[in-house]
Amino acid sequence: MLSPSPLLIPFPEMPEIAGVTKRVAKAHYKEWDRCDLTYIELDEGTSVAGVTTRNICCSSEVELCRDNLTGGSARALVVNAGNSNAFTGYRGREAVEAITRQVAAHIGCAENEIFVSSTGVIGVPLPKDKAETGLRSAFEAPICSWQDVADTIGTTDTFAKGAKASAIVDGKRVEIVGVIKGSGMIAPDMATMLGYIFTDASVEPAFLQQLLSEANGSTFNCITVDSDTSTSDTILAFATSKAGNSRLTSFDDAGADAFAAALHDVCRQLAHLVVRDGEGAQKFIEINVTGAVSDDSARRIGLAIANSPLVKTAIAGEDANWGRVVMAVGKAGEPADRDKLSISFGVTQVAHNGLPIDGYDETPVAAHLKGQEISIGVDIGLGSGCATVWTCDLTHGYISINADYRS
């Protein structure tokens, strides 16, 4: 059992979402005595949107999820933990199809309204018999809490991750909650984890997709732990239409801006929680890039810094070696000018216009690096593009966890 990350944030009190019924069960996908199958039933009329991994070796679950998203309607979510069912050929596909058939028959809905995710070891087919037995148990299990869901979807996670927000839409208060799992194999190329967001708002599927995709770009796609993009990553958002607001179809509708801001806030919170639980992480790192030729360029520069093992290990060792940041900017493949580059750690500027600050004193930087919340600022000096990226340090703990992952 892994010790909780020192960067953990306690699981929040989260409201129930009307139209969402949550249950967990033991399918025994691995040799453990814990719940590893999550079953969430959604009332008729629930809209769905999603973003998935761009890893071309994705799982059958991801392929079917993409197909089902075109329908815009959801009645159930099943999440299997301990087995990713990726790179398992026709046997993996058959396992997912069997799950969708079983759940659709139980609810009495179309199979394309069932969404399935799996997470864990790659290359091992999901055992259909265990999934079937686990689902039968889940159908009869008592209703559970959001924290139970967050615990059950996890693998190497060291703490349950959840977030919430609310907004006033058309004079009605709507709630948004989310749970997520992710600790390693985290890199931005959507989605980098398994995350599920639920709201009682009434939202047209196409508009929900637009809002989720926009939020994804500046949250989930701006985090990295180890630069590896998973084969199973999925973020899904479900809107049950129980809040009583007039249906949101575009930003012209009353409360659409407030709902979009609340959804973005939940996505940002969840993304940060994944970084805080990065395997072996001891420090949470925020990298702010300004002055790039575009926002996209700023993001790519930020990720080059965030994914640099030399930068991450220097921060783990509390070494104020800002030259490694210079190196990472230069290798990013984006427009940059050495003689216009400025760098800061915390509130202390260490370099300006390509030169170390006159009389530079490393003491405040060293003190900043001893904390758990690290801030790095980089100004490229070429334009108005900006982006913020989040990562964690790289420690011996990451090696230990991943060397023993299948044990």
Out of 53, 152, 192, 224, the active site residue is 192
In the three-class reduction of DSSP (H, G, I as helix; E, B as strand; rest coil), residue 316 is classed as: helix
R_g over Cα of the chain: 22
Alpha-carbon span 227 to 222, nearest angstrom: 11
Other CB atoms within 10 A of residue 331 CB:
13
- For the record, the structure tokens of 161 come out as 């991750």
* Strand stretches in 182-255, DSSP E: 194-199, 234-239
Alpha-carbon span 131 to 136, nearest angstrom: 9
H helix count then E strand count, the chain: 11, 14
Alpha-carbon span 187 to 229, nearest angstrom: 5
156 is catalytic: no
DSSP 142: P
In the three-class reduction of DSSP (H, G, I as helix; E, B as strand; rest coil), residue 314 is classed as: helix
- For the record, the structure tokens of 13 come out as 């009190």
Alpha-carbon span 282 to 298, nearest angstrom: 26
- For the record, the structure tokens of 295 come out as 């926002």
Alpha-carbon span 342 to 263, nearest angstrom: 34
Alpha-carbon span 231 to 187, nearest angstrom: 11
Are the CB atoms for 290 and 386 separated by under 8 Å? yes
Place of tokens 């080059």: 304
Are the CB atoms for 86 and 75 separated by under 8 Å? no
Torsion, Cα 239 212 253 172, to 10 degrees, reads 40
Are the CB atoms for 305 and 396 separated by under 8 Å? no
Q: Catalogue the active-site residues.
A: 192
